[in-house]
Amino acid sequence: MALKIWLNDKLVDEAEAKVSVFDHGLLYGDGVFEGIRVYDGRIFELEAHVRRLFDSARAIRLQVPMGKEELIRAIETTVAANRVHDGYIRLVVTRGVGTLGLNPFTCKNAGLIIIADKIQLYPEELYEKGMRVISATTVRNHPLALPPQIKSLNYLNNILAKMEALDVDVPEAIMYNHEGYVAEATGDNVFIVRNRIIYAPPVEAGSLEGITRAVVIRLARQEGLEVVEKNLTRYDLYVCDELFLTGTAAEVIGIVEIDGRAIGDGRPGPITRLLRDRFYSYARRKEK
């Protein structure tokens, strides 16, 4: 079945879902987006994702072409039209059609795209056995150049780090900021466990304020686990008891090796497994 894509103000057939070559989202990566999961027909943390989209748009002076409630209805309509039961939503707002030049004020109307489809996940084997990662040499964008809270269409910084990982046949890379502190992975947030305390880099270090990250922190605290946000170094990752990533697609996935160094006993640790189980239950509403 061909997909139905929400384009600007209505659903169109997939073949008709086209944007102008003069859209500044294409020309300059000028726009914002959200990736959202659908579990058992329910859109996960939808209001939080929409709120973050509006925050990102406001930060770059981009006017979302509809209000929050109207946008939520458009997302729900797109999911229903494509009969997505378990899948993924890509929500995009572009600056819109303008001239050849950086001036964003030549773009009179922002563009809106909503795609609801299947999602390509990591293989189940990686969740059972754990993932290998490397440290990227690509430095995370300076927070004063591009605040990490803005989920923008320009992902080149992350893509360059992703290439480093793929070149050595691992799926992910850890990125560090200009001061050498852990920022995030190329598409996920980073956590470590040391002496049963969970540590996460603060947003100010260059990490996205992840929706899944916030849920996992909340679930961890419900389990009586201490969660501390603090700057982490590469050394902290090398000597931690557990290392795991969180994200919309990844959910919660354990890391068992970084830069050739085993994490813990070389298997996903007990807190990682606990939080993955709790997240799985929460996402599918098997627990409150």
Joined tokens for residue 200: 């996460």
Instruction: State the fold for domain 124-283.
Output: D-amino Acid Aminotransferase; Chain A, domain 2 (3.20.10)
Provide mean pLDDT across the span 220-233: 98
- pLDDT at site 202: 94
| Chain mean pLDDT for the chain | 96
pLDDT tens digit sequence for 72-82: 999 999 999 99
Please tell me the distance from the alpha carbon of residue 46 to that of residue 211, in angstroms, as a whole number. Answer: 10
Residue 35 has pLDDT above 90, yes or no: yes
Distance of CA 17 to the CA centre of its chain: 24
Confidence of residue 287 (pLDDT cuts 50, 70, 90): very low
User: What are the start-end ranges of the H helices in 101-155?
Assistant: 124-129
Domain extents for the chain? 4-117, 124-283
- pLDDT at site 39: 95
Report which of residues 285 and 208 the model is more confident about.
Answer: 208
- Pairing relationship of beta strands 131-135 and 172-176 according to DSSP bridges: parallel
pLDDT tens digit sequence for 131-142: 999 999 999 999
Report which of residues 165 and 124 the model is more confident about.
Answer: 165
Residue 1 has pLDDT above 80, yes or no: no
Fill in the DSSP letter of residue 41.
T
The active-site residue out of 108, 151, 162, 288 is 151
- pLDDT at site 282: 95
- CATH, domain range 4-117: 3.30.470.10
> Is 277 in a helix, a strand, or coil?
helix
Please tell me the distance from the alpha carbon of residue 10 to that of residue 30, in angstroms, as a whole number. Answer: 22
Q: Is 118 a catalytic residue?
A: no
All residues at 6 or more sequence positions from 180 whose CB lies less than 8 Å from its CB, including other chains: 233, 234
Residue 288 has pLDDT above 70, yes or no: no
- Pairing relationship of beta strands 111-117 and 4-7 according to DSSP bridges: antiparallel
Please tell me the distance from the alpha carbon of residue 254 to that of residue 268, in angstroms, as a whole number. Answer: 5
pLDDT tens digit sequence for 112-121: 999 999 987 7
- pLDDT at site 286: 54
- pLDDT at site 121: 79
Report which of residues 207 and 115 the model is more confident about.
Answer: 115
Joined tokens for residue 44: 């996960």
Provide mean pLDDT across the span 155-171: 97
Provide mean pLDDT across the span 203-227: 96
Provide φ and ψ at 254, rounded to 5°: -80, 145
